Structure formats: C-alpha cells, structure tokens
A and B are shown apart, each in its own frame.
Chain A
Amino acid sequence: MTDTIRNTADGDRDHSPISPFRRSWFKLKRNKVALFGGFLILLYILTALLAPVLFPGNPSAPNLIMALETPSLKHPLGTDELGRSILGRIIYGSRVSLSIAIGVVSVGLFIGVPLGLISGYYGGKTDFILQRITDTLLAFPGFLLALGLVAVLGVGLKNAMVSIGIAMIPLYIRLVRGCTLAVREEIYVEAAKAVGTRDTVILLRHILPNVMVPITVQTSLSMGMGILFAAGLGFLGIGVQPPTPEWGTMLGSGRSYLFHAPHVATFPGIAIFLAVLGFNLLGDGLRDALDPRFKL
C-alpha cells in the first residue's frame, strides 16, 4: 500500500499534512492527566472482566462471625456488617456499575443521537416539538428525573439503566442537534444533495461522522455520570437490590457504621470516586485532543 502511494506520488506528497486522527492521538498521548484517566478506566474494565480470577469466592455469601472486621491480610479492605469481604464486593460491584454505565450510555446514544440528527437536519415542526420535549426533560435535574422514573418503573438493575438512560437522552439530543445545525450548512452537505444523495445517507454518512467528536466526549463524561447516578440510586436503596454487590448500595449500608467501622463505607466510596474520575479526566482530555483549535 505505501509502495503504491510512493510510486504514483507527485512532488508534494512528502509535505502532506498528518491526518487529524493522528494529530489528536499525539495530543492525547502528551496529556498525562488524560492518560491517567485512561489508565483508571482500563483498570476498572479489567477488574470487571477478571472478577472471578481476582476474587475466587462468592462475594455475597454472609459470614456473620467475621462481621465488620477491620482490614487484615485475609480481608485487605475489611468486611461489612454481614462479614463479606469488601474487596470482593468492590471487585464484583465493578461489573454491575460498568454494565449500568454501558446500558445508560447506549440508551442515550441510540435514542438521543438519531433524534438530535433529525431535529437539527429537518428543522421546522419536527425540531420544534422535539426541542420542547427536550426542554421539559432538561427542566428536571437529571438525578431527580431518574429517581422519578425508577418510582414509575420499579427497582432493579434494568430499570435503573433505563431510568438513568432516559435522563441522559436530552443531553445527547441538544448536543447533536446543535452540531448538526452547523454541519448541515456546510457546502459538502449541499454538494452531496446536488448529486442526489438521500436524506438518510446524508445524515448517516455525511453529517454523523462530522459530529462524532462531541459525541465521543459526551459519551466518556456520561459514563462517569451514569456510574454516579447508579451509585446514587443504590445509596437510596432503589437501585440494584442486595445481595448483588453494588457500590452505591454498599455505601448506603456502610453509612450506619460510619463511626465504629468507617472502612465499610469509605472503600466503596473511593471505588466510585476513581471510576468517575477516570471517565471525566479522559473525557476532558479527548475534548482537548479532538478540538483542532486547541493546540497543545
């Protein structure tokens, strides 16, 4: 491939600018903070994938004799009120929170992005109606909206996912609509129309790739937000139900023993903090790296 290019190349080939993708990658690599975020996320995903290897036992089996033990060699992070290893529950909890985060972002992406594209591209009445609905949804604080939806749908993993996901949709609609409004006026969109391209093709092939950058950034930030919201629901006892290990639920039950066994609530809190921090740092780094105006 490279050879064919060299052979057919004309003089200015050697001075050709580097592609935007590679330039962004260079910028991201130089951003140490963003890399640290990426490292946290990698650690988090590996923990979720390798949970049975990292903690061979059953994280939900109670062992009341060992209740509220402080950190020791056998239980590096101590035990909770039912004598279960907090380390084990955090390791398995990463699976739950990661799957919620992915579910939440999927709901937001698959519903919010198409609606945003349609709203921005077609404008007119469609846009007006969609935007008023978005306005209404955005009028509620995101967490309150998720809380209300859980109240309607009921507790549990799936319902938590759907509720938080719906709370994310308006954010995606707004973002994608705004970007689409700018891109649809580009001459290349007009040129594509001038050769008879269908609207669906214009939307998916010409506009969507041009709005992928903000979507990528928003997705990273929404992952962190999803984890936080899920933990919030768990903390209030209306998220994932025990005995399934979930960070928010652990935090909630540990709250009762905050004074004589602070480790029960502290370690899940740190886990939530690090996971959310990872996604936020990476999201910020991506935003800087993918923005062509921002030179590092």
Chain B
Amino acid sequence: MNDTKKPLLAIEALHTRFHTQDGVVNAVDGVDFNVYQGETLGLVGESGCGKSVTALSILQLLRCPPAEIQGNIRFEGVNLLNLDQEAIRKVRGSAISMIFQEPMTSLNPVLTIGEQISEAVRLHEGMRYQEAWKWAVNMLQMVQISGPRARAREYPHKLSGGMRQRAMIAMALSCNPQLLLADEPTTALDVTIQAQIMDIMVRLKEEFKTAIVLITHDLGVIAEMASRVVVMYAGKVVEEAPVKDLFKDPRHPYTRGLLGSIPVIGHKAQTGRRLQEIPGIVPRPLETPLGCRFHPRCSSVMDICRKQEPPMIHLTEYRRVNCWLEAS
C-alpha cells in the first residue's frame, strides 16, 4: 500500500455546521481521512450521514453562511480552507474536480455539451476556443460517446442519462485533475449503464492517474472499485479499512448491519435466514443522541455506549474503528 507516500488529500478534524432557524446542524462532525495518489477511496454511509457535505466542503461549494467549515483540508500540503476565493476557484476543476449524482440536471440546458466541456480547459489551461473545442471532442471520445463531433454540438436534452453522466465525467476530467470527487455518480442510472460508467471511470483513473473519492451507499460499487473504505455515520467516521478486510471482517456494528442488509440471491433458500436490517433510522441532525451516535440502533449496545462517545481505536495502520466493543 501507499504507506511511505504522503497523502494527496488529508482531511483533519473537519467540522461543517449549518446555522439554521431551528439551531445548529453538525452535518460533518470531526471527520478525518487521507486520500493517496491514484487510489480510489470509498466513502460509504446512509443518506444524510454527511458524505456529500464532506465533498462539498473540500471544494467549498457550500454557501457560507449558513454553512461554516472548520478544520484542515490539506491538498498537497496546502490547507484549502486558508485559500481566498480566487485561489480556491483555480483549484476547482484543475486540481480537484467533482461529478454529481443527477446527470439529468447537472448539465446546463442552454449550452451545448461541447461548450460546457471546453469551458474548463479554456479557463484553466488558457486554450483558444477552437483548440478547447477539439479537446472537448477528444474527451467525449474518451468517455465512449459515439459520434463525439456531432454530440459536442448538441444540447443536453438530446442525450440520455448515461450519456449525460459520461459528458459530466468528461467535463470533470477535462483538465486532468489529481483528485475526482464522485458524489454517487451511478445512483440515478440503471444497472447496465452503471457498469459502463464504472468501467469508464476505472479506465480513466488508470490513464490519468487520478485519485477518486467515491461517495456512495452502494456497497456493490465499493467492492468493485475502491481500495480503501471509510464508513460514515451521522457526521462521523465509524470505521476505516482496506476494502477486502471490511467485507471479510467488519468490526463496527453499523458496518456489519450495512453488509448484512445486502440481499443475496438464493441466500434465504439455503440458510433460512431473513434479510437483516438495521432497526430505526438515522438520528435527526438536531437530535444527535448522547454517547455513541449509533447506540439506539446498535444490536450490541452496552451501558457505556449511552453515556460516553467511543474512542477511535487504531487496530492496524490502515484499520480503525470508532466503537466501545473494540476498546474493551
């Protein structure tokens, strides 16, 4: 593994709060993890656990106020949170890029595909219009869009969801960023298209040596693509592990619950066991429970879990769990 390397992105004690009328919402509450050059890190968790907000905080795409970002986000040693607006704008797209969940709405309906892709290279690489256009067509070819020349002249309404997501990937990768934040890139697509998009992302990752932070709630996608996994729950990291270890030996009860709730075809017939679920729902952001945030839903809850927040236990260099079970 990349043990000797310095991390490309190091997030330390990231807190993102939203000041709302009902009170302060701690969407991200002390998250830390590293992303190394060229790797794919999976960021997993249920809806509302702060995965997307973490990604948006890295690029500072949140409107502040109401949002407030604290902590350190070091990208190649530079703390992004100390940069001014103009400096962070130059980082966006050229060094760190992002793709979004909704391919249907993430392209501007009044601009052609080519215009939208070439915009980034014109901006960051100072390319001329013609040159940038050729670059855009080239990028469309890379993401396997047929007839890229004609497609570049078309408006988004003529493209299917899968094609739009490919165009989004082309746009995000057009300046060859070192880090790509992929926020549920395949959630809105059907399964066959999902596989194609994943394929393209893996190939481009190899080609461009881009590191990817893959945000998803789909553990199948994680198993396929990620090398390491960070599991988040209610704004906190609850477990981090290399992908194989996580699937083989999940340590946090929440991770176990997540893995247990994946349906396996034929499973019930063979073992007579029902599909497991995690009881309850994610706590509401304004009512985070005392002690361990997962304790109301935890199957192996102990007394101490209700009173004190669990410590982060480092099992090995690459594994850590935020649970009292490991502390004893």
Chain A contact residues, CB within 8 Å of chain B:
4-5, 7-10, 12, 16-17, 19-20, 123, 186-198, 201, 205-206, 209-210
Contact = CB atoms under 8 A, between A and B. Distances in A.
B94 A210 contact: no
A120 to B, nearest CB: 13
B149 A201 contact: no
Interface in B55-111: 59, 61, 63, 89-94, 97-100, 102, 105-111
Given A8-B150, A196-B124, A190 B100 contact: yes
A191 B123 contact: no
A187 B106 contact: yes
Given A20-B157, A196-B89, A196-B94, A191 B146 contact: no
Contacts of B168: 191
Given A194-B61, A194-B93, A195-B172, A4 B149 contact: yes
B155 A194 contact: no
B9 interface: no
A209 B93 contact: no
A81 B216 CA distance: 82
16 contacts: A7-B147, A8-B147, A17-B157, A17-B158, A20-B157, A187-B102, A187-B106, A188-B109, A191-B100, A194-B61, A195-B174, A195-B175, A196-B90, A196-B123, A196-B124, A197-B89
A206 B97 contact: no
B171 A10 contact: no
Given A192-B119, A196-B120, A206-B111, 8 more contacts: A4-B150, A189-B108, A191-B99, A191-B100, A191-B168, A194-B59, A196-B90, A197-B123
Given A10-B147, A195-B97, A187 B105 contact: yes
B147 A195 contact: no
Interface in B286-318: none
Given A187-B102, A187-B105, A8 B149 contact: yes
Most interface-central of B97, B119, B172 (chain A CB within 10 A): B119
Contacts of A189: 108
Interface of B: 59, 61, 63, 89-94, 97-100, 102, 105-111, 116, 119-120, 123-124, 146-147, 149-150, 155, 157-158, 160, 168, 171-172, 174-175
B198 to A, nearest CB: 20
A197 B106 contact: no
A198 B174 CA distance: 17
A195 B111 contact: no
A192 B110 CA distance: 13
A117 to B, nearest CB: 15
A209 B157 CA distance: 16
A231 B228 CA distance: 74
B150 A195 contact: no
Contacts of B175: 195
A187 B108 CA distance: 9
Contacts of B102: 187
Nearest to A124: B65
Contacts of A210: 108-110
Contact of A195 (B105, B157, B160, B171): B171
B305 to A, nearest CB: 38
Nearest to A17: B157
A206 B171 CA distance: 15
A186 B150 contact: no
A20 B98 CA distance: 29
A198 to B, nearest CB: 7
Nearest to A5: B150
A191 B110 contact: no
A145 B155 CA distance: 43
Contacts of B97: 194-195
